Amino acid sequence: VDQVALAVERTRLVADLGETRFLSETERLRQALLSSVSHDLRTPLVSIIGAASTLIESDAALGPEGRRQMAEAIREEGERLNRFVQNLLDMTRLGYGALRLNLDWVDLREVMGRATRQLGPVLRDHPVDIAVPASLGPIHIDAILMEQVMANLLDNAAKYAPAGTPITVAARRDGREVVIETSDAGPGIPPEDRERVFDMFYRVRAGDGQRAGTGLGLAICRGIVEAHGGRIKVGDAAGGGARIEIRLPSAGEPPTPPAPEETP
Ligand code: ADP
């Protein structure tokens, strides 16, 4: 009996320990989320309020070109907020395992077109080369979620690579798989960080504070790609930049024709 009581007690202790670990991990995530949300909401809001105030108070002095620049700044920061909120929503849905795919046969070039339009002025300092051959044909994905994956990857490339350097997106079939790669000419991601950059809130250059970011983008990309049954990983681009490779194992499979009916 003592043995049994001991075993029960031990199990309870282990469970308590697990619970405490779980809680402190949740608490850590909650803190990280709060500070990231307040920082990432406030930064674009400050720009929007600043640009709007300039428009109102210095309207005469600005001239048409100045007014256009202010309006563009407001739109760009508004779109940044929009992407951030979208990422937060996705993260919540991923966390609850409620990310449902709406699969369809789509043209990846159209998805890329929407992703680049969504980013708008964010890409203004980088030539973007989208090398998706027509021969790729339609692929089987959730177009809206994959647009977001591609927008997050392009956003990162534009954010971390120096102005003027090109960003490339290439897609091909590899057997049944569809492979999509983005490459940039930035600092790249060091090998020791290549797994962790897909963790929520993980940032390689967290300390420098130069580039606004939440550390959510790649975690969401991974969630969406894995929901498609695919994989995402970091490699080196020629020249040392970051190369992000997505493999979608069944996105290129043609729909199976209905089995012929057997005649009795
Ligand atoms: P965020 O960009 O908001 O910090 P992400 O999850 O998108 O968050 O990226 C996580 C980290 O990975 C970034 O903070 C950055 O350190 C690194 N990273 C992502 N993309 C690139 C890239 N194209 N070039 C260099 N570093 C990158």
Determine the pLDDT at residue 208: 45
The atom of ligand 1 lying closest to the CA of 198 is 6
- The pLDDT tens digits along the chain (264 residues) read 677 777 777 777 666 666 666 666 677 767 767 776 777 788 889 999 999 999 999 888 889 999 999 999 999 889 888 888 888 888 777 776 777 888 999 999 999 999 999 888 889 999 999 999 998 999 999 999 999 999 999 999 999 999 999 999 999 998 889 999 999 999 999 999 999 999 887 888 754 455 667 788 999 999 999 999 999 999 999 888 999 999 999 788 765 555 666 666
Instruction: Let me know: does 70 contact 96? Beta carbons within 8 Å.
Output: no
Complex-level ipTM: 0.98
Expressed in angstroms and rounded, the spacing between residue 40 Cα and the centre of ligand 1 is 15
Instruction: Let me know: does 232 contact 245? Beta carbons within 8 Å.
Output: yes
The atom of ligand 1 lying closest to the CA of 203 is 14
Expressed in angstroms and rounded, the spacing between residue 97 Cα and the centre of ligand 1 is 24
Residue 138 neighbours by CB distance under 10 Å: 15
Tokens encoding 195: 């797994």
Ligand 1 environment, Cβ below 6 A: 152, 156-157, 160, 184, 186-189, 197, 202-205, 213-219, 242
Expressed in angstroms and rounded, the spacing between residue 160 Cα and the centre of ligand 1 is 7
Determine the pLDDT at residue 215: 81
What residues contact 205, with CB distance under 8 A and at least 6 apart? 211
Rounded to a whole number of angstroms, the distance between the first and last alpha carbons of the chain is 67
